[in-house]
């Protein structure tokens, strides 16, 4: 169930000057929403605490084993957000900011479990994969999304502009004090854009900070920050658009903050697969290396 209410929108313009209308527009939108999510079958009814069986019930990709709780209650989330949008005269520039806050009752998180007593573990076991049980706890998620764009110049080489974005999200389990699982760290991008007679070109730099805020019960893996360079070009001819590009131009080795745990080596019948006497815990999924792509789109 989802209910969304847009509360307020305001705009303002500058007066007309001579024969040209210069418009400086400001818009404010307030949003209030309520959402509910029913726990899945996996979260409620998978029952085995045996590590080999529990690890087969992992729909979140963190390497742990899970079993459910048939008494789980539905998540209930209330979100307050505001979107402030500024557009410059002649739409030559723009800035958009959306801060938000969500309070989540009965958030479905997980706790390490004592499989012998079928209760929450008395002590935390770190630096390995464990058997966890889904449980209801309260949580909050807040952050801000920023985007901006600006026209730079027009010359014989085309129309030039710059665009960028910044994103920050924080998630906290209010019962355990742990950070929430799978929250994207601070990240942003900036791109130089060019358009000329059907051609569109872009040079983009993407930056992601180190992931240090991780879920303690799940022993979520921390990742290092990184920066990538992407190149893109395309041509629009009537109904046909051709696009080509290179992602990660410098073939930067990096780990994905939301990629989860890499489980593709070691023994396959053990949760903590011993490799030369040590656990395979702690290896994140790597991001793609240098990638080339070509695409053709036809509109009809």
Within-domain flag for 94: yes
Within-domain flag for 215: yes
Within-domain flag for 123: no
Residues of the domain holding 96: 2-33+77-104+138-298
| Run of H or E including 297 | strand 291-298
Any idea which residue has 């998540």 for tokens? 75
So what's the pLDDT on residue 16? 38
So what's the pLDDT on residue 122? 86
Query: Mean pLDDT per 10-residue run, the chain (300 residues)?
Result: 41 38 80 97 92 87 93 97 93 95 98 85 91 96 98 92 98 97 98 94 98 96 98 93 97 96 73 72 93 94
Radius of gyration of the chain (CA): 24
So what's the pLDDT on residue 23? 67
Within-domain flag for 38: no
Count of domains observed in the chain: 1
CA distance 125 to 279: 13
Within-domain flag for 259: yes
Within-domain flag for 126: no
Any idea which residue has 């010359």 for tokens? 155
CATH number for 27: 2.40.170.20
26, 8 contact by CB (below 8 A): no
What's the 3-state SS for 90-106? HHCEEEEEEEEEEEEEE
48, 37 contact by CB (below 8 A): no
DSSP tag of 272: S
Q: DSSP letters of 29-91? A: EEEEEEEEEPPPHHHHH----SHHHHTT--SS-SS-EEE--TTPPPEEEEEEEEEEEEE-GGG
């Amino acid at each position: 169930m989802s209910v969304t209410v847009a509360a307020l929108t305001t705009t303002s313009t500058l007066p007309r000057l001579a024969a040209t209308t210069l418009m400086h527009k400001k818009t404010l939108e307030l949003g209030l929403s309520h959402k509910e999510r029913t726990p899945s079958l996996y979260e409620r009814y998978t029952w085995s605490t045996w590590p080999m069986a529990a690890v087969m019930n992992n729909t979140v990709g963190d390497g742990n084993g899970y079993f459910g709780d048939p008494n789980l209650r539905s998540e209930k989330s209330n979100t307050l957000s505001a979107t402030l949008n500024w557009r410059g005269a002649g739409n030559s520039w723009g800035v958009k900011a959306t801060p938000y806050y969500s309070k989540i009752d009965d958030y479905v998180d997980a706790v390490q479990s004592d499989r012998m007593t079928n209760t929450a573990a008395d002590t935390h076991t770190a630096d390995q994969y464990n058997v966890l049980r889904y449980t209801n706890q309260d949580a909050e998620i807040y952050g801000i999304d920023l985007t901006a764009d600006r026209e730079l110049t027009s010359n014989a080489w085309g129309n030039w502009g710059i665009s960028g974005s910044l994103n920050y999200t924080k998630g906290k389990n209010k019962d355990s004090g742990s950070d929430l699982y799978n929250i994207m760290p601070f990240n942003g991008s900036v791109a130089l854009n060019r358009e000329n007679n059907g051609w569109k070109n872009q040079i983009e730099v993407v930056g992601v900070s180190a992931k240090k805020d991780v879920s303690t019960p799940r022993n979520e893996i921390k990742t290092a920050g990184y920066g990538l360079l992407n190149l893109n070009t395309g041509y629009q001819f009537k109904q046909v658009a051709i696009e080509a590009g290179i992602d990660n131009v410098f073939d930067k080795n990096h780990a994905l903050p939301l990629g989860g745990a890499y489980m593709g080596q070691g023994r396959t019948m053990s949760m903590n697969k011993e490799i030369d006497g040590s656990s395979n815990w702690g290896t994140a999924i790597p991001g793609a290396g240098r990638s080339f792509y070509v695409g053709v789109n036809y509109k009809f």
